[in-house]
Amino acid sequence: MGHKPRLGIRWYFVFYVFVILCVTVGGAAGLTWLLNRFITESLVLPVFFWIILLSIVIGGSITTFLSSKVLAPLTSLRKAMSRVAGGDFSVRLEQKSRISEINDIYADFNLMARELSVTETLQSDFVSNVSHEIKTPINAIEGYAMLLQDKQLSAEERAEYVDKILFNTRRLSGLVGNILLLSKVENQAILPELREYRLDEQIRCAILALEPKWTEKEIEFDVELEPVTYCGSEPLMLHVWSNLIDNAIKYSPQGGMVHIRLTAGQDLEFQIQDEGIGIPKDKQAHIFDKFYQADGSHKSEGNGLGLALVRRILDLCGGNIRIESGPGKGSCFIVSLPENR
């Protein structure tokens, strides 16, 4: 089914002006001829008078027509924008005008309304999730603190409850830190503190910093890192490697192997492969969403913000991240960064 041809608003005005001129001149000439033929010459008014009279009549008619074609869509847009300003993001405008500019404006408005609706939903979910994630460790800290008030506790029980309080305190601190960092990187478009440094050495430092975790699980590393000098934000990039390595350790089985590669080609590419349970296809699209955790069994070990932060940092760097995974096949995260020229 073919689309109706749509003209720009300037062509409509050109067409209307041309019609006004033709009708006015033709009508004035016709009326003058009729008056000269049927009315005595003394009553005949100048042609200029009829041109003015017809211009007023035709101009009024054309203005009324333009109001329905141009001004009415603008009125609809104004009403729709008032509804959006009032918080109603469900409003949509039908793109049926023959004027291309009106349809373009309506299309942009509909896109804006959809994006605002999605943003509002994400913000509501974010606040809800933050409230839940913060309340969970606070409730745990409160509960164990109340148990510590019991003077009949043994030294072993008291030490266990103190450890639980410290664990939830660290969890709460990590959550708040991630929220603040996420807020920072989501509201900036330029990376701060850019400098050159050895990317391979930074990745080695990130592995060593997590030694207590991989030692406890007896994880082994297969590491091949090409010497790479990179110019970027060192603290933010360290967060990327630390998060990905920490996840690989977390989801690897006891005594598993983690493979890490860094290569320099047309782009810089970092790969980290674990031997965990893998992530099903239907969940891979959501792993970079805030607070999403594909494996609920590790929920107490994280807050679901790590990968969202990783993706946002890489967006700022002009890089990207993707995943190759499947049930029982482990997960491989691949980071690509534009090579410094």
273 compared with 304, residue with greater pLDDT: 273
Q: Are 189 and 316 within 8 A, CB to CB?
A: yes
Q: Which residue has the tokens 């933010």?
A: 236
The enclosing domain of 253 has a CATH number of: 3.30.565.10
pLDDT band at 265 (very low <50, low <70, confident <90, very high): confident
**The total number of structural domains that make up the chain:** 3
pLDDT of residue 105: 83
Residue that terminates a domain, selected from 156, 186, 216: 186
297 has pLDDT over 50: no
pLDDT of residue 245: 92
pLDDT band at 299 (very low <50, low <70, confident <90, very high): very low
Q: Are residues 154 and 50 in the same domain?
A: no
The closest alpha carbon to 179, from 299, 312, 89, 5, belongs to 312
Burial of 153 (C-beta count, 10 Å sphere; 0-12/13-18/19+): middle
Q: Are residues 165 and 290 in the same domain?
A: no
pLDDT band at 59 (very low <50, low <70, confident <90, very high): low
Q: Are residues 164 and 143 in the same domain?
A: yes
224: which residues sit within 8 A by CB, 6+ positions away? 260, 261, 262
What does the pLDDT average to over 290-310?
60
pLDDT band at 1 (very low <50, low <70, confident <90, very high): very low
Q: Are residues 216 and 331 in the same domain?
A: yes
Sign of CA dihedral 229, 235, 238, 240: negative
Q: Are 254 and 218 within 8 A, CB to CB?
A: yes
pLDDT of residue 24: 66
Q: Which domain holds residue 163?
A: 119-186
203: which 2 tokens? Answer: 């990745």
pLDDT of residue 198: 92
pLDDT of residue 36: 64
300 has pLDDT over 50: no
pLDDT of residue 101: 74
Q: Are residues 23 and 64 in the same domain?
A: yes
Sign of CA dihedral 250, 252, 256, 259: negative
Q: Is residue 163 part of a domain?
A: yes
Residue that terminates a domain, selected from 186, 209, 235: 186
29 has pLDDT over 80: no
What does the pLDDT average to over 109-131?
68
8: which residues sit within 8 A by CB, 6+ positions away? 99, 100, 101
Q: Is residue 52 part of a domain?
A: yes
DSSP one-letter code for 42: G
Q: Each residue of 78-91: pLDDT tens digit? A: 888 888 888 787 88
Q: Is residue 172 part of a domain?
A: yes
Alpha helices per DSSP H over the chain: 9-38, 47-66, 72-85, 100-148, 155-186, 199-209, 211-216, 234-251, 281-284, 306-317
Q: Are 323 and 281 within 8 A, CB to CB?
A: no
pLDDT of residue 341: 44
Residue that terminates a domain, selected from 33, 68, 88: 88
Q: Each residue of 231-257: pLDDT tens digit? A: 888 888 888 898 899 889 988 899 999
Q: Is residue 282 part of a domain?
A: yes
- Which pTM was predicted? 0.52
